[in-house]
Amino acid sequence: MTEILEAPTRTGREPRPVGTVLVTGAASGLGRALARAVAAAGGRPLLVDRVAVDAGPELGDALSVVTDLADGRASEQAIRELVTAAGGLDAVVTAAGTDSCGALGDVAADDWEKVVRVNLLGTAAVIRAALPALKANRGRIVTVASTLGLRALPDASAYCASKFGVVGMTRALATELAGEVGVTLLVPGGMDTAFFDGRPDQYKPGPDAQLNDPAEVADAVLYALTRPEGCEVREMVVCASTESSWP
């Protein structure tokens, strides 16, 4: 006799609306893909970058601000003003990032430290500025680490230090904010963006490298942002199936 399996019972709970989402690094790459995904899903993106962001009609009623995350205090002020102008906030995605490749002794100290200031301290500054508005709406945070926040490579000490720090900070925040603000750690692999432009060839992906489409990663972020109340995606790795830095 053939056993008949019943379909799993659905909870019937509706996904959380996307709402107003602040995205750093919104001028290009993953940040731009996230802004598009938020707008396409009916949300309102708030765009943060160190250069002016051309919102265009595809991003609807987006607001934007120019600030350099290497200056944490100035960025906090800019973000508070942006959130006030938007009338509130439902989520933050910290997609901005930078790198300075090379052996520790070969990378200028200012360049090395800027990577940490932008990637780690800048992430903390953004969250700090947004936290009151996020708590008011029981909002959500998605931090963007990297597979190099879990696995170290040579000539990447600044980037690894910053992204390992993002991993640790995010895990601590998930505990600290449990029940108040949802926290998700995103660990993306290499993406097909301008992130690798301008590097020496030795620090670029090889000609056969398979890089992920940032739009695919943005879709995964939207999934995390829209889980029903009480359900959270704590951590997720999104990468090409042949990603060499994972696991």
User: Which residues form the catalytic set?
Assistant: 159
Q: Is the dihedral of CA 196, 201, 203, 204 positive or negative?
A: positive
Residue 55 burial (10 A CB sphere; 0-12, 13-18, 19+): middle
CA 163/CA 149 separation, integer angstroms: 4
> What's the rounded Cα separation, in Å, for the pair 207 and 97?
23
Contacts of 209 (CB under 8 A, 6+ apart): 190, 244
CB neighbours (10 Å) of residue 238? 20
Q: What is the Cα–Cα distance from 133 to 127, expressed in whole angstroms? A: 10
CB 112 within 8 A of CB 158: yes
Q: Which H/E stretch holds residue 169?
A: helix 157-176
CB of 10 within 8 A of CB of 35? no
Question: Kind of pairing, strands 91-94 and 20-24?
Answer: parallel
